[in-house]
Chains A and B, each alone.
Chain A
Amino acid sequence: MVTHNTTQKLSARTARRLRTILAAGRVTAWRGVDLITAAMLAAAFGVVFWAFDTFVYPGVSAVTTGFPPAGELALGVWLIPAVVGGLIVRRPGAALFTELIAANIELFLGNQWGVAVLLSGALQGLGVEIVLAVLLWRRFGALTAVLGGIVSAVLEIVGYEWWSYVAGYSWTWRIVYLICGMISGGLIAGVGGWALVRALARAGALNAFPLGQEVRENDTSR
């Protein structure tokens, strides 16, 4: 066994500037724990979605029956796994992998949209993936999360829902529908997902991941 030292020693000044720690090793070299964590996060979100469908969503849809596009304000909930998976694992494919497995679980549990949920999962995961790729997997802040949530919503709606669920809407309403989805993606999946990941890191649950290291090193430097 050789000596490992997986962080570079940074001066205090540069440390403040370059706080972001990237995934260990080559960015595409997924560790076993990356894969297992992403898959387990998806399974947990499968449980959360099931609870959301049972306890909260009926209330939301009851409120929004009179004005269906408002129902799209809940879209962001389903985009959270992609944002959270991407922000935690910080490797290409993490957002897509997490969202796809979560979609698979919804499929196996029995859901509203049948197999279409897999197509949705792929588009939603790709949305976050595109944003992370444009930023070269180097930025994982709140802004990245919000952009990821918005692009994810755009891909889901423009790439799929416009042509299936709301294909009969007039264009005005399709646009309203899209804007509702984007707001939800940015707020619930973006801000919400980012806050969730920060809280998990502070609880010491992300010690195996770059964000966990960032939080701990800030703590020890204080």
Chain B
Amino acid sequence: MTPPAELRFPILPEGSRRAPVGALVEVQDLTWRPFGRADPVLEGFSLRIEPGQRVLLVGPSGSGKSTLLRAIAGVLTTTESGDLAGYVQIDGREPQGSAAVVGLMVQDPADASVAGRVGRDVAFGLENESVPRENIWPRVRRALATVAFPYGVDHPVNALSGGEAQRLALAGVLVLQPGLVLLDEPSSMLDPQAATAVRQAIWAAVTASGATVVLVEHQLEHWLPEIDRVVALGADGAITADGTVEATLLAAPDKLAAHGVWVPGVPAPRPLEVPSRLCAPVGWDVQVGDVVMRAEGVGMLRRLPVGLGGAGGTAVGGTPAGAVLTLSGAEAVVRAGEIVALVGPSGAGKSTLAALLAGLERPSSGSVIAGQQLQSGLRGSPADWSSVELARRVGWVPQQAELAVVARTVRDDVLSTCRTLQLDEAAPRAEALLEVLGLAGSAETDPHHLSGGQLRRLALAGAVAHGPALLVLDEPTVGQDRQTWAAVVGVITAARDAGAAVLVATHDRLLMDLADRCIRLDHGRVIEAAESAESAAAVPPAPAPAPTTPISPAVGPAARRGRFRPLAERCGPLALLGSAVLLLAGALAITRLSEALLGVAAELLLAPLVLGWRGHRLRRLLPGLLAVASVWFSTWLLSPHQDPIAGATAGMRIAFFVLPGVLLARFIDPFALGDHLAQRLGLPGRPVVAAVAALQRFESLAGQWRELRRIRRVRGFEAARGPAARAGELAALTFALLVQTLRQAGQMAVAMEARGFSLPAARRVRRTWAQSAPWLPADTALLVLAAVVAAIPVALAVLR
């Protein structure tokens, strides 16, 4: 029997191997009740989508839109268990069988990324579909071209902007050429320019492939021209309207707007009337117009976090290696009784400047100076203030509002800073704020159960309740529907009217219109500080200047080519690990000082050849040297008769295997290690892939940890010195980080399963690997050298 054409010729040009036609979607009597919920999210839900149709799903939050998308993608039971009935069929088949039928694009591109480099990330779905390696790369390059991706396959994933990352995620979906593309709020986390680029990429790609499209989105305006059909869900998950754009949105715009949908053409909601006493500064007698906080020529040089090697950091010309200039020479003033909007594209430095003005960070140049009243009685700049004094003065809503949870119930969360500051009279105020922000019904709920939009409102309530004189709000209106938007903006304007100084960093045009002033940032510089919002809003977006600083890959193997390359640099990860393990085994044979000294001498002799002369950060050796010293000392102390020779032997034994191990580990690329473990040692594919995907998220988790610490500081909870207090703080931070980690792991699982993560296991086949794991002559050479050195103590013991 001849195999189907698709298997024989998998890399024919697009279009010739499959007629440009989308998939037929049939949902029949779908009912889904997650365990722990009394009512089903979807009940008896039926929907038929014709091939090639482009459907927009709208509805209030909690109406089951995302649930429906996950059901259609066949990943509903990935992270939740519950009662599921009815069926979903794509072209007459169940969606779970193949990743090449349905593509799902999730809200946060970070949740979709699985590899350190762009090419490997796109290749993920193909590897899971066991596509042979030689066919993977042409398809990867074509998918990247489809989304107009500006970088090559070797570009590091963690150096991408939000819009680029979302286009990368789109390429990862399109590479499988799905007949159905599901889009879950694909542009909600992007600034307008990046959103436009993502939208264009999506429509260009699905026009070329003819795929059926189901889109969930809140900001409808720019999507509508390409939409064939609108399906509106009510709060109970039932369909309330279904038809063309004209017949649904344009026929009854007010009805949908009343459900909170941002229907284009319907005037902006009016900010809710909030009594200004709810948001008034407590204990501050600032006069309208007083300067509350001022930034003078501030710059911020951000050191890239300690990478896990491999795909790590990028160095920017003109700045020290491993650092980027996120802000430079910025001036800003915030006065009492005004709303200042920080605007500009993503990556322009808005969040950095906001954090500096909130006293959360110390600028690398320039200074942040508090107004007279805020500064009185305190020494140093806001970044030096104690946690409690900062909390009394500044309220902050972080961009990742879900990190801002600080207590076990919604009510306690809002009251916690009031309690730290001993503001007993604040309780009724907090209750009223919860009422205004639509959270009163959840006052006894654990905040972790709230939706993203609710968490952002909770963070706002927590920032306002204790009456700070300065409010710094990073994207306070993201994820809000019309009603909750009106409440959030009502609180912001009430705070302004009560005399607080308000700084908002935002992309929200409606919020900018309500601001008294705008400060526009681009590429880390203030390009305009208009006195009135109108003039700033009227400025056309600045033409993006050519990147002043070319981004070049960090000094890596390529940059060193031509010069002497130490042996370790030419070795694969398994040889590096193996040689370190050999030295460990050798160390266990050491019983005398002479053996240890000879071994260490041999290592020192070989070190220049194996490890090279330069480029070592000796700081990396410091913990190891401390370990040597501590073992030396404690062994001397606790050996029989306090024998100094025993101490020295123990110390040198540690030095024999720890120090080379630390230095060799520096050369291991964690992402290549995954490839080698799976292909050379035959370890099962899924655990290896999961581990690599988690390593890829390490830097993001480290960033969240820093953000959690800043939140605790600005809310007044930062622990005093002393090991016990610090251990307590560490426990609280650990818990908060793990909650976020688990939430993100669930979202990653959905995105990865939609790209076929578990398919090889289900089909009992091996996945393929886009990159090989070669064993090189250098690998053998390193292992032989290590074996010789490790044999020294053994040989001496035998000769004795």
Contacts and interface: CB of A to CB of B under 8 A. Distances in A.
Contacts of A199: 735
B691 A39 contact: yes
A8 interface: no
B691 A104 contact: yes
A208 B79 contact: yes
Contacts of A110: 306, 620, 623, 662, 665-666
A123 to B, nearest CB: 13
A40 B697 CA distance: 8
Given A38-B690, A167-B650, A170-B639, A68 B745 contact: no
A54 B35 CA distance: 41
Contacts of A40: 694, 697, 741-742, 744-745, 748
A60 B723 contact: yes
A30 B749 CA distance: 13
Contact of B723 (A63, A107, A206): A63
B87 interface: yes
B698 interface: yes
B169 interface: no
Given A7-B35, A208-B80, A55 B87 contact: no
Contact of A213 (B81, B637, B657): B81
A220 B742 CA distance: 23
B640 interface: yes
Interface in B617-652: 620, 623-624, 626-627, 630-631, 633-640, 643, 646-647, 649-650
Contacts of A170: 638-640
B309 interface: yes
Contacts of B649: 168
Contacts of A11: none
Interface in B688-724: 690-691, 693-695, 697-698, 701-702, 705, 723
A116 B620 contact: no
Given A163-B588, A202-B446, A216-B36, A112 B627 contact: yes
A173 B638 contact: yes
A204 B34 CA distance: 13
B730 A56 contact: yes
B630 A1 contact: no
Given A41-B741, A43-B698, A52-B730, A68 B634 contact: yes
Interface in A24-42: 24, 30-33, 35-42
B329 interface: no
A108 B634 contact: no
Contacts of B702: 47, 50
A1 B272 CA distance: 46
B683 to A, nearest CB: 11
A5 B666 contact: no
Nearest to A107: B665
Question: Which of A47, A111, A168, A204: most chain B Cβ within 10 A?
Answer: A168
A101 B758 contact: no
A208 B746 contact: yes
B36 A217 contact: yes
Interface stretch (B57-65, B579-587, B763-771): B579-587
Contacts of A39: 687, 690-691, 693-694, 745
A16 to B, nearest CB: 18
Instruction: For chain B, give the interface size range.
Output: 35 or more
A163 to B, nearest CB: 6
Nearest to A169: B638
A220 B36 contact: yes
Contacts of B726: 55-56, 59
Contact of A47 (B643, B664, B737): B737
A196 B741 contact: no
B448 A114 contact: no
Given A59-B723, A207-B80, A35 B687 contact: yes
A20 interface: no
Contacts of A143: none
Contacts of B581: 115, 118-119
Contacts of B577: 115, 118
A105 B631 contact: no
B36 A200 contact: no
B446 A203 contact: yes
A1 B94 contact: yes
Given A6-B81, A43-B695, A213-B35, A108 B662 contact: no
Contacts of B308: 105, 108-109
A97 interface: yes
Contacts of A165: 631, 650, 654
Contact of A36 (B587, B640, B745): B745
Contacts of B742: 37, 40-41, 200, 205-206
Contact of A168 (B80, B87, B626, B635): B635
A68 B647 CA distance: 13
B730 A113 contact: no
A220 B666 CA distance: 51
B733 interface: yes
A108 B665 contact: yes
Given A1-B94, A7-B35, A108-B309, A115 B739 contact: no
Contacts of B580: 114-115
A51 interface: yes
A119 to B, nearest CB: 7
A1 B86 contact: yes
Contact of B448 (A116, A119, A205, A219): A205
B499 interface: no
Interface string A155-174: 00000000111111110010
A168 B646 contact: yes
Interface string A42-83: 111011101111011001110101001101000000000000
Contacts of A65: 630, 633
B78 interface: yes
Interface string B773-793: 000000000000000000000
Interface in A181-212: 192, 196, 199-200, 202-208
Counting from the closest, the 5 A-B pairs by CB-CB distance are A114-B661, A216-B36, A68-B634, A39-B694, A115-B580
Interface of B: 34-36, 38, 77-88, 94, 306, 308-309, 446, 448-449, 577, 580-581, 584, 587-588, 620, 623-624, 626-627, 630-631, 633-640, 643, 646-647, 649-650, 653-654, 657-662, 664-666, 668, 670, 673, 686-687, 690-691, 693-695, 697-698, 701-702, 705, 723, 726-727, 730-731, 733-735, 737-739, 741-746, 748-749, 752-753, 757-758
26 contacts: A4-B83, A4-B84, A7-B35, A32-B690, A33-B749, A36-B690, A40-B694, A43-B698, A46-B698, A48-B734, A51-B730, A55-B726, A56-B730, A101-B695, A108-B309, A114-B580, A115-B584, A115-B657, A118-B577, A168-B650, A169-B634, A192-B731, A202-B446, A206-B742, A213-B35, A213-B81
Given A168-B643, A207-B80, 6 more contacts: A31-B758, A47-B698, A53-B623, A97-B687, A114-B660, A170-B639
